């Protein structure tokens, strides 16, 4: 038993309060209340655990799986052998009627569309490669006959037939012209640039470009280059200059020795309209010409390929090609490393 005594003072007088109690009865009362509350607390904790389990199994796990597979799709789209990698990815098992299932279904449909597009692209590439093989095979035979007919090294046609053979060999094993040109291997060796430019200027009319002028240096100017590829470069630039020059004006070739950086510079100048500033660099991209930005929109014979060939070959020979607008016309500058 517990007892307590307290005196309380009030205006009406002093009062003495005596309290008596049983400890066990208090403990029993608290135990009854605690037992009731424990059921409520237990039920709340069980409900929280059940809700967490439902969310984890029904939502979070699916979100995690979908996120991982979406990340795998993003990674494998840019990886080599994309067709094989994408074929191993699938999110269709996560389809459902809720928002996450709808998202998974949309991703599965997009993934299937990408797979179909990749497969069609591979089929198209294979068909193009077969076409190039067939065209190359049919062209090589008459070219061999032309080589026999023009076997003399002094024959002007002999050099052009050799260039045609080289072009066919470059394109023969690739799926597209741009891939073929970028994969081409050039035979870079010492070349007398002065003699080379004299020959190109003297025979430019055979390529359909008239009035090409070059003043020889009169002494050997050795550079490192592939003769056939460099002739392709210069011929493409000459044809481009011929299309855009003012009628009746010449195309001028000039050679400058830049000894300070170990390179030589060839200038090809024509009088005519300037190139738009936005196209000074873009004209060297595949499919871009001065007349149109896409090959399909270009006039016949202008496929936006010639200057792309020029820059590609110059890069492989360790040189550069740039276009500049000058007073009254356009000048293209070729730089090549000196030999020796």
pLDDT of residue 162: 73
Short-list 10, 14, 101, CA closest to 58 = 101
More confident residue, 135 or 14: 14
- What does the pLDDT average to over 171-199? 77
Q: What are the b/e assignments for 231-268, b being 16+ CB within 10 Å?
A: bbbbbbbbbbbbbbbeeeeebbbbbeeeeeeebbbbeb
Mean pLDDT of 19-36: 78
The pLDDT confidence band at residue 5, using thresholds 50, 70 and 90, is confident
Is the pLDDT score of 330 beyond 70? yes
Q: In which band, very low, low, confident or very high, does the pLDDT at 298 lie, cut at 50, 70 and 90? A: very low
Contact in structure between 101 and 137 (CB atoms under 8 Å): no
Query: So what's the pLDDT on residue 246?
Result: 93
CA-based Rg of the chain, rounded to a whole angstrom? Answer: 42
Instruction: Give the angle 276-298-134 at the CA atoms, nearest 5°.
Output: 135
pLDDT band at 148 (very low <50, low <70, confident <90, very high): low
300 pLDDT band, cuts 50/70/90, is very low
Cα separation, 199 vs 222, whole angstroms: 15
pLDDT of 193 higher than 90: yes
Whether pLDDT at 185 is above 90: no
- Judged against a pLDDT cut of 50, whether residue 107 lies above it is answered with yes
Per-residue pLDDT, averaged over 291-308, amounts to 56
Q: Lowest-pLDDT range, 7-21, 55-69, 77-91?
A: 77-91
173 band by pLDDT with thresholds 50, 70 and 90: low
- Where is pLDDT greater, at 128 or 199? 199
Q: Is the per-residue pLDDT at 293 higher than 50?
A: no
Domain ranges, ordered by start, for the chain:
23-118, 185-337
User: Hey, which of 15-19, 35-39, 205-209, 263-267 has the most confident mean pLDDT?
Assistant: 263-267
The confidence score (pLDDT) of residue 335 equals: 92
pLDDT of 196 over the 90 cut:
yes
Per-residue model confidence (pLDDT) at position 237: 93
Position 217 pLDDT exceeds 80: yes
**Selected residue with higher pLDDT from 177 and 264:** 264
Q: Please give the average per-residue pLDDT across 4-30, as a whole number.
A: 80
pLDDT of amino acid 197? 94
Q: Is the pLDDT of residue 212 over 50?
A: yes
> What's the whole-number mean pLDDT along residues 102-116?
78
What pLDDT score was predicted for residue 97?
A: 76
Between residues 67 and 45, the one the model is more confident about: 45
- For the cut 60, the answer to whether the pLDDT of residue 80 exceeds it is no
Residue percentage of the chain with pLDDT more than 70: 74
Mean pLDDT lowest among 91-105, 143-157, 222-236: 143-157
In this prediction, residue 252 has a pLDDT band, given cuts at 50, 70 and 90, of very high
pLDDT of res. 89: 65
Which pair of tokens denotes residue 116? 């179909």
H or E segment and range at residue 245: none
Q: What CATH code would you report for 185-337?
A: 3.30.565.10
Beta-carbon contacts of 229 under 8 Å, excluding residues fewer than 6 positions away, are: 166, 184, 186, 313, 316, 317
């Amino acid at each position: 038993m517990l007892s307590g005594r307290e005196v309380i003072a009030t205006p009406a007088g002093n009062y003495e309060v005596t309290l008596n109690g049983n400890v066990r009865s208090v403990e029993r009362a608290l135990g009854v209340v605690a037992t009731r509350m424990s059921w409520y607390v237990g039920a709340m904790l069980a409900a929280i655990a059940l809700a967490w389990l439902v969310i984890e199994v029904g939502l979070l796990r699916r979100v995690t799986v979908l996120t991982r597979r979406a990340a795998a799709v993003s990674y494998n789209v840019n990886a080599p052998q994309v067709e094989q990698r994408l074929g191993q990815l699938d999110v269709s098992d996560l389809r459902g009627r809720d928002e996450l299932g709808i998202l998974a279904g949309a991703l599965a449909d997009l993934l299937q569309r990408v797979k179909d597009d990749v497969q069609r692209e591979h089929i198209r590439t294979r068909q193009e490669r077969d076409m190039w093989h067939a065209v190359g095979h049919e062209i090589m035979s008459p070219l061999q006959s032309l080589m026999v007919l023009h076997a003399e090294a002094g024959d002007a046609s002999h050099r052009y037939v050799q260039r045609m053979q080289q072009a066919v060999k470059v394109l023969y094993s690739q799926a597209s012209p741009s891939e073929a040109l970028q994969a081409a291997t050039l035979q870079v060796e010492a070349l007398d640039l002065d003699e080379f430019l004299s020959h190109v200027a003297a025979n430019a009319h055979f390529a359909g470009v008239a009035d090409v002028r070059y003043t020889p240096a009169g002494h050997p100017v050795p550079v490192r280059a592939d003769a056939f590829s460099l002739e392709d470069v210069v011929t493409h630039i000459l044809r481009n200059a011929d299309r855009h020059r003012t009628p009746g004006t010449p195309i001028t070739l000039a050679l400058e020795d830049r000894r300070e950086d170990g390179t030589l510079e060839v200038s090809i100048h024509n009088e005519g309209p300037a190139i738009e500033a936005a196209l000074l660099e873009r004209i060297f991209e595949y499919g871009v010409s001065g007349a149109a930005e896409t090959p399909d929109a270009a006039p016949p014979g202008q496929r936006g390929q010639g200057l792309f060939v020029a820059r590609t070959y110059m890069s492989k020979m360790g040189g550069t090609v740039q276009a500049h607008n000058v007073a009254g016309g356009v000048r293209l500058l070729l730089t090549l490393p000196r030999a020796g």
